Structure 1
Amino acid sequence: MAFDGIVVADLVHEFRKELLNGRIAKIAQPESDELLLTIKASDGQKRLLISADASLPLIYLTDSNKPAPMTAPNFCMLLRKHIGGGRIVDIRQPKLERIIHFTIEHLDEMGDLCRKELIVEIMGKHSNIIFCTEGGKIIDSIKHVSAQMSSVREVLPGREYFIPDTMHKADPLTVDKGTFKRLLIEKPAPAAKALYTSFTGISPVTAEEICFLAGLDSSVPAKEYSDDILFHLYTQFSIYLTGVKEGRFSPAIYYDGREPKEFSSLPLTHFAQYECREYTSMSEVLRTYYSVRSRLTRIRQKSADLRHIVQTALERNRKKYDLQIRQLKDTENREKYKVYGELINTYGYNVEEGAKKLEALNYYTNEMISIPLDPTQTPQENAQRYFAKYNKQKRTFEALSELSRETKDDITYLESIQTALDIALTEDDLAGIREELVNTGYIKRRFTKKKVKIKNTPLHYISSDGYHIYVGKNNLQNDELTFDFAAGNDWWFHAKQAPGSHVIVKTNGDELPDTTFEEAGRLAAYYSSMRGSEKVEIDYVEKKHVKKPKGAKPGFVVYYTNYSLVIDSDISKIREVTD
C-alpha cells in the first residue's frame, strides 16, 4: 500500500473542506490505540476515525460508529476535558510528512480562549496520536515512548514535541534542481530507491511512477544518468507533485480482477495492467480498500484448513501417481516375454540340453534374436516361465493403467478445488467448497441437528454486447450451471487442460458477436489456474455437446468437437452484476 505523504496531503485537503470550523461533539476511544471523533460541521455531523495501530495506522472519515468501553481510558478523558466542544481552526501537514496537525480552539478552566494541537503521526510501527500545547509541549499521547524504547525521541508528558529527522530527507515540494541532483547522485541505490529515500512523503510506488513518467529504468543508479536526464527526471518530479501543491487529487484504487492491489491519490500510469476505479474522496478509498482487503484476508485465513486438506491430498496423490508411472514403465517389455515364449515353443525342439540361450528368427520382425534360457529347465519350462512373466506384467499394466487414470483424475479434481479456493470471496463460497469435499469423501461429515443453508450463486457478468455470462465458483456449481441452468444452444467455455470455472453465455437463441466470445474467453482464463497469463488457450462449444461421464467427479465433463481461442486474462473492462 502507498499510504505516503501524498495520500496524507489528499486527506488534509479533504479534512479542511469537511471539518474546518467544525466543533468536536464526542470523543471516544474504542481501542487502546484508536480515537473516534464526532464533529459537527456546517453541513452535518462527521465522524473521524484515527488509528495508531502499529500494523495498520489509519485516518479517514467514516459513516459507521464503533462501541466504546464503559469506562473511558485516561487519554480519552484528558481530550474530553481539554477539547470537548472545541472548534477545529486549522488542519495542516508539515512539508510532505505523514503527519497531520489539528489546531483546536477551546475555552480553558478560566474561560479564556486558547488553542491545543492534536498531532496524528502515520508512521508504521512508530505511529502515534500526540496532544500538545500550542507552543509544542506534549500534554499526553495515546502511546508513551520512553528513552529505553527510543533513543531518537521521547514522547512523554512535559517533553517538547519535534519531528525526528533520522533519514535527513528533503522537502519534495520546495527542492530546487541542484539539490535534487546532488541528493540522487550521492546515493548508490537505484533511481527509484534514491527518490523515496531522499524525499519525505515519497513511497516506492510513487517513485516508480515518476521514473516511469520520465521514461527511465528505475533499477539503474541515478549517478549513472547524465545531467540532462536528471534534469528531465526533476521536471517530471515537479510536474507530478504540482497536483499536491494545487490540491488536484484523483483518489483511486487499482484492482487485479476483484482484488484491490494498490491505492493512490495521484494517477499511477505504470499500473496500466490493472483496472483503475476512481472515488470521490480519499476517505472512501481507504474505507473500501481496507474493508475489501480485510475481507479477503479473513477468507484466506478461514480457508487455511481447507487448503491444508487439499494440499495434503494432492501431495499424497502426486507421490502415488509418480510411483504408478514408474511401475508402468517396468511393464513396457511385457510383449517381449510373450514373443520369447512363442519362439521357444517354435524352435525349442533343437535346443541342446543345458543350453544358456537360443538363437532364433523373430518372425514378427524377421530379425535374429538371442533368448536367454535357464539351463536347468527344459525348453517347455523356459517358455512357460516367459509366458508367466508376460501374463503377470500384462495384469499389472492393466491394473496400473486404470489406477493411474483414477489418480490423475483425483489430482486434476484437487487442483480444481485449489482454483475454487482462490476464487472464493465469501464464507458461503467456502461453505460450498467444504460441502463438495464432504460429498467426495475428503472431509468427514459432521452430523448436527441444525442444517446450514448455503446461499451461493455463480458470478454474473454482462458482455459489452449485453449478453449475460455466468461463472461457476466451485465444481458443484459448475455442474449445476452447465447441466441444469444452461440451454442446449448456450455457449460453454473452459481453459484448455487447466483447472478452472465453467463459463456459460446465455444466447437467447442469437448468434453471438465476436466481442462476447472474447470476453467469455477472458473470464474462463481469469477464473482458472492460468490467471495472469497473457496467452491462455480456451475451448468453447455449444452446451449440448458437453457430456458428463457416468460416475465422474463434480465439474468433470467431456466434449469431442470444440472451437478454440487464445486470449489474455484481463477482465477489468467486463461489467460484473452484483446482487
Structure 2
Amino acid sequence: MALDGTVISCMAWELNHALAGGKINKIAQPEKDELMLTIKNNRKQYRLLVSASASLPLVYLTDQNKTGPMTAPNFCMLLRKHIGSGRILRIWQPGMERILNMEIEHLNELGDICRKLLIIELMGKHSNIIFCQEDGMILDSIKHVSAQVSSVREVLPGRMYFIPETQHKYDPQTITEEEFFSSVCQKPMPLSKAIYTTLTGISPLIAEELCHRSNLESDQSANSFQEIEQIHLFHTLKRMMEDLETHAFTPNIVYDGKVPLEYAAFLLTQYKDMHTETYDTMSEVLERYYAEKNTITRIRQKSSDLRRIVQTALDRSRKKYDLQKKQLKDTEKRDKFRIYGELLNTYGYEAVPGSRELSAVNYYTGETVKIPLDPTLTAQENAKKYFDRYGKLKRTYEALEHLIKETKEEIQHLESISTALDIALNEEDLVQVKEELTQYGYIRRKYTGKRVKITSKPFHYLSSDGYDIYVGKNNYQNEELTFKFATGNDWWFHAKGAPGSHVIVKAGQGLPPDRTFEEAARLAAWYSSHRGADKVEVDYVEKKQVKKVNGGKPGFVIYHTNYSMVIDSDISGIRQVKEK
C-alpha cells in the first residue's frame, strides 16, 4: 500500500476531470494538518479531503462532510480570504512526484483577476499543503519548515517554492533505454529495490509488479540479468507509463480474505490468486481501503487490553503445562520402586546385613536386577521405603493427570478466546469476549447494577446455491448457534484440531450441494487460527451428531463419525449478508 506517483497520477486526472472549472464554495480545516474543500461544478457539489498527516497523507473526493472548529486556524482564514470563492483552473502532477498542484483563479481586493497555487505534497512525514503566488512565492503553509528543521528547503512565507531534488532520481516517463541500463540494471542490489530507488514515484509495490510482469526474480541482483531480460523490463516499464499517460487506470483493492491488503491504480498481476475488487475512481479506493484498515486498526487498539490479559494467562498456563509434563515424566519410575519392594519381600532373606545391593530375578521379565539398599536398614525396611516412594509417585501421577487435563483445557479455552479477538470487527463483538473472560475469572467483575448488553450477532453468509450459512464470532455465539439455533439436519463445520468458529449450514429438508459444503468449509478455515493457510483440514457432520462436553467451557463439543475435507481459506467469493 503506497500513495506513490502512479496513484497520484490517477488522482490528478480524476480530480482535474471532476473539479476543473468548479468554484470553491467552502474551506474548512477539521484537523491541524487537514483541509476540507467544498466545490461546486457542473451542477454538482464535491467535497475534497486533503490530509498532510505524517502518518497518513491523503487526498480524495468524499461524500462525508467534516466540519472545522468554531474559530478557524490562521491558514484556513488565509485561504478563505484569497480563494474562498475562487475557480479551479486545473489540477496536475509535476512529473511523477507525489505532488498535486491546484491552480486557482480569483479576484483580489481591487477586483483584478489573480492566480494562486495550492500545492499538496504527499510525502510521508514531509507531507505539506503550501499556498503560493503564481510566481511560486510562498504565502503560507499548513506546516512551517524552518532552516533548523530542514537544511534542504525552508517552507515559510516569503520563500520561493521548489521541489527538492535530494535523491536525484530519474523520471520513469522520460528515462531513456541507455539511462535505464546504466542506472537500474547496474546496481548490485535486488532488482525491485534498484527500480524504486532509481525511479521517481515508483513504490516497492509497483517495482515488484514490474518484476512480476517481466517474469524476473525481484530479489535477484539487478546487475546479474542478461541484456534481453533488461530490455524486456524496460519495455514493461514503458507500457505501464503509456497506460498512465493515456489514463488507462483500473483503481482496485486486493483482499486477503476480507482484509484489504494492497491498492493500486493498475491491476496487480502478482496477486492473481487473491480477490481483487475494482472501482470507478481512485477516491473510492482510498476512502474504502483506509476506512476498512482503520476499522481493523481501531478494533485492535480497543482489544489490546483484552489481548494482553489473554496472552498473559496463556503464557502462565503454558509454563504450568510444561512444568506439569516434566513432573509427570519424573513419576515414570514409580513401577520400578514397586517391583523393588516386591522383590525385597520375596528375596530379602538372601540379603547380607549391611550390604548395599541385592541381585534378584525379576519374575515379571525373567531378568536379573540389582536393587540398591540402605545398609543401615533391614530388607523389609528397604522394601517399605520403596513402597512408600511408589505410593507417593503414584499419588503424584494421578493428581498430575487431572491437573494436566485441566491446564490443557484452559490453554485451549484461552486460544479460542484469542481467535475470537482476531475475528472481532467492532466494539460490540468485544463485549461477549470480555464477559467470558470475566465469567472465568481473568477479569475482575465490577458491579454496576446494569446487565451487560449483547448486540453482536453471528456472521451471516449466503452460499452460491442460496443456502444460509452462519458463523459464530466467539465461544458464546458458537454455543448458541450449535445448540439453540441449529436443528438436527443442519450441517456443522469446524477447523480440525484448531480454535475457531462453529459454522452452521441451514440445510432445510434436503442435502446441500457440494459447492455449499466447500464454501462452509472455507468459512470454518478462515474463521480459525489457520486463517490464511492454503490447506486446512475441516471436520463436518450433521448437527445432531455434535454433543456438548459435560461441564465443558462454552463452545467446546465432542462428535464422532464425522467427515473431513482439506480446503483453502479463501472466502473472498462468498457473499456476506450484512447485519441489520
TM-score over 0.5 for the pair: yes
Q: Deviations over 1:276-320 (max 9, x none)?
A: 111221111111111111111111111111011111111111111
Partner of 1:141: 141
Match of 1:53 in 2: 53
Where do 1:261-410 residues align within 5 Å? 261-410=261-410
**Aligned-pair CA distance for 1:423:** 0.9
Indicate the residue corresponding to 1:454 in structure 2: 454
Structure 1 range deviating more: 52-61 or 367-376:
367-376
Counterpart Cα distance in 1 of 2:397 and 2:167: 70
1:39 matches 2:28: no
What residue in structure 1 maps to residue 484 of structure 2? Answer: 484
Q: Tell me if structure 1 keeps the 8 A contact 2:256–2:532.
A: no
Q: Deviation per CA, 1:528-567, whole angstroms, max 9, x where unpaired?
A: 1112222222222211111112111112111232122111
* 329-338 or 509-518, larger mean C-alpha shift: 509-518
* Partner of residue 117, structure 2: 117
Q: CA deviation at 1:374?
A: 2.3
Q: Which amino acid aligns with 2:399?
A: A
1:504 is the counterpart of 2:504? yes
Cα RMSD of the aligned pairs, angstroms, is 1.4
Task: Report the equivalent of 2:6.
Answer: 6
* 1:437 counterpart letter in structure 2: L
8 A contact 2:185–2:230 mirrored in 1: no
- Residue aligning to 1:577: 577
1:236 — aligned with what?
A: 236
2-structure distance, mates of 1:228, 1:367: 77
SS of 2:36's equivalent in the other structure is strand
Once the two structures are TM-superposed, the CA of residue 359 in structure 1 deviates from its matched residue by 2.1
Report Cα offsets for 1:225-282 as digits up to 9, x if no partner.
1221111001111112222111111111111122111111111110224321112211
CA distance in 2, matches of 1:371, 1:79: 97
Compare 159-168 and 173-182 and name the one that shifted more: 173-182
* TM-score (norm. length: structure 2): 0.97
Partner of 1:469: 469
Pair 1:538 & 2:519 matched? no
* Residue 514 of structure 1: how far off its partner (Å): 2.0
- Alpha-carbon offset, residue 451 of structure 1: 3.2
Matches within 5 A, 1:208-219: 208-219=208-219
C-alpha deviation, 1:513, in angstroms: 2.0
1:186 Cα offset (Å): 4.0
The amino acid that maps onto 2:5 is G
For 1:220 and 1:409, locate their aligned partners in 2 and report how far apart those are by CA, in whole Å.
48
TM-score by length of 1: 0.97
The residue that corresponds to 1:190 in the other structure is: 190
Query: Would you say 1:205 and 2:205 are equivalent positions?
Result: yes
> Which structure 1 residue ranges, 5 or more long, are not aligned?
none
Deviation at 1:382, TM superposition (A): 2.0
**Matches of 2:451 and 2:143 in 1, distance apart?**
47
Report the more deviating stretch, 351-360 or 231-240: 351-360
2:557 aligned counterpart, secondary structure: coil
Structure 2 residue matching 1:547: 3-state secondary structure: strand
**Contact 2:257–2:532 at 8 Å: present in 1 too?**
no
Q: Which has the higher mean CA deviation after the structures are superposed, 201-210 or 448-457?
A: 448-457
1:430-460, Cα deviation, whole Å (9 max, x unpaired)? 1110011111121111111343412111112
Identify unmatched segments of 5+ residues in structure 2.
Answer: none
Given residue 109 of structure 2, which amino acid in structure 1 is its aligned partner?
E
User: What CA distance in whole angstroms lies between the structure 2 residues aligned with 1:455 and 1:280?
Assistant: 35
> For the residues of structure 2 that align with 1:100 and 1:518, how far apart are their CA atoms?
47
Amino acid at match of 2:49: L
Mean Cα deviation higher: 209-218 or 470-479 = 470-479
- For residues 390-446 of structure 1, the C-alpha deviation after alignment (integer angstroms, 9 at most, x for no partner) is 111111100000001100110111111111111111101111100111111211111
Alpha-carbon offset, residue 218 of structure 1: 0.8
Alpha-carbon distance in 1 for matches of 2:377, 2:34: 91
Farther off after superposition, 259-268 or 368-377: 368-377
Moved more, 122-131 or 531-540: 531-540
Q: Which amino acid aligns with 1:268?
A: L
Work out the CA distance in 1 between the residues paired with 2:74 and 2:373.
97
Q: How many residues align?
A: 579
Between the aligned residues of both structures, percent identity stands at 60
1:427 aligned onto 2:452 = no
Q: What is the rounded CA distance, in whole Å, between the counterparts of 1:560 and 1:341 in structure 2?
A: 44
State which drifts further: 170-179 or 30-39. 170-179
